[in-house]
Structure 1
Amino acid sequence: MVTNTSVMGSLPSGLGICTTAPDIFYLPELVFGGLVWILVASTYVSPPNPLGWVMFVSVFCFVMTFLWLIIFAAGGHKNSSSWAAADFAYHGLAAFFYLSAAVALAYITFWSKFGPIKTYKIDIAAVVFAYVTTLLYFVHTILSSIRWKHF
């Protein structure tokens, strides 16, 4: 990982997002977040309230992260410090949302262990991927705050 201040004090564009410290997490966030979305959507949604929140978080973060990736790849940020602050704020919010969704999903999965075993296994996989996605967003938040500090 590149961590010197000259790179951390600027926002990448183009293929540079695949080589800089916080931005290399975009693709894993999309992959693991998409897996949470797919796994939760593939089972019967019961009870609808907590799992509706999990679906909202996974779809919202997937769409927003994809848009964020496109904006950064196209260079729409114009290397502005306000975009660095927005990057930090978005990923912090996404980490918080995913943590709350992962806890709710784990709680529901724990209480659904007496249901169909296939659904239970899918829900366990969704919980694991939700916590991995939370970790990815959290690390992205930390690295984005470092980059924002160096602006």
Structure 2
Amino acid sequence: MASTSTGDVLPSGGKIFSTVPDLFFLPEFVFGGLVWILVASTKIPDTNPLGWVMFVSVFCFIGTTLWFFFFLCGANQSSIWPGLDVAYHFVASVFYLSASVILAYITFRTANFASISDELLKIYRLDISAVVMSYLATLLYFLHTIFSGIRWKRS
């Protein structure tokens, strides 16, 4: 019996701007890039584990950029791509969740020192912004995973 799918498994080209899971690409760029910028603009002491947060934000930003261009160029038309789409976004959401928890912990830990000087208060506010953006990026990657999984099961 022939396959009911005619190679139209995943959208490509301009169609990626009209499908639900793929609409999350642009907000993922924005919030992931903001996490990267906000964490990079703070002062990081030697004992601070924000290196993982930077790795996650840079890795996911570059990975999502490559993924977006694969979809845009139409290189995603093989039958393996729906599963890879789910796997990539699941890994990205787990990475971002772990980075968000670490970032929230570091921000909470430095809250006591924020009242000492204006410089520390500025860094504390940047960290709070980074935590919010990180959790939003986590949510976007998680939603992308869910909707990509639904699309995968339908294909």
- The alignment's TM-score, normalised by the length of structure 2, stands at 0.89
Report the counterpart of residue 112 of structure 1 in structure 2: 110
1:9-88 matched pairs, under 5 angstroms: 10-47=9-46, 49-78=48-77, 80-88=78-86
- The one-letter amino acid of 2:43's match is Y
- The one-letter amino acid of 2:106's match is I
More displaced, 106-115 or 36-45? 106-115
- The one-letter amino acid of 2:102's match is A
> Does the alignment pair 1:97 with 2:95?
yes
* Runs ≥4 residues deviating over 3 A: none
Tell me how many residue pairs correspond in the alignment.
143
* Secondary structure at 2:49 match in 1: helix
- The one-letter amino acid of 2:92's match is A
- The one-letter amino acid of 2:36's match is W
Please, what is the CA RMSD of the aligned residues?
Answer: 1.3
- Bigger radius of gyration: 2
Q: Give the unaligned 5+ runs of structure 1.
A: 1-5
Q: CA deviation at 1:46?
A: 2.4
Report the counterpart of residue 117 of structure 2 in structure 1: none
CA distance in 2 between counterparts of 1:82 and 1:58 reads 26
* Overall identity of the aligned pairs, in %: 61
Q: Deviations over 1:27-66 (max 9, x none)?
A: 0000000000000000111255520000000000000000
CA distance in 2 between counterparts of 1:123 and 1:138 reads 22
Report the counterpart of residue 130 of structure 2 in structure 1: 126
CA distance in 2 between counterparts of 1:102 and 1:66 reads 21
**Would the aligned equivalents of 2:48 and 2:106 in 1 still touch at CA under 8 Å?**
no
- The one-letter amino acid of 1:127's match is V
